[in-house]
Amino acid sequence: MRRSDGWRDLARPTFLFGLLLVAVLVSYSVLEGKAGGGYLQRAAIVLVSIGVATLALRVRALARSPRTAVDDPLVRQQSRLATL
């Protein structure tokens, strides 16, 4: 993500989001069937929903940007590899 201009600013928040989600899921698995487990399950569902919505908004914004995919160095590299 850090190599692509459109995603560079989301690299660190995505990593932190992933750590938070893993912490919630591990906590849920420890408390499953006990008091508080249901709340952690709901928190995990909300976090995943927020993550998917954020990703969708970013993809939508990148799709509407005037910058073409050819300007992205990763796309150029992949297209060169595809022609080999």
pTM over 0.85: no
* pLDDT tens series, the chain, 84 aa: 556 666 677 778 888 888 888 888 888 888 777 777 778 888 888 888 988 888 888 888 777 776 655 555 665 555 556 666
Nearest to 28 by CA among 17, 40, 19, 20: 40
Query: What are the structure tokens assigned to 75, written together?
Result: 């796309």
Q: Which segments within the chain are labelled E, that is strand?
A: none
Domain boundaries, the chain: 8-83
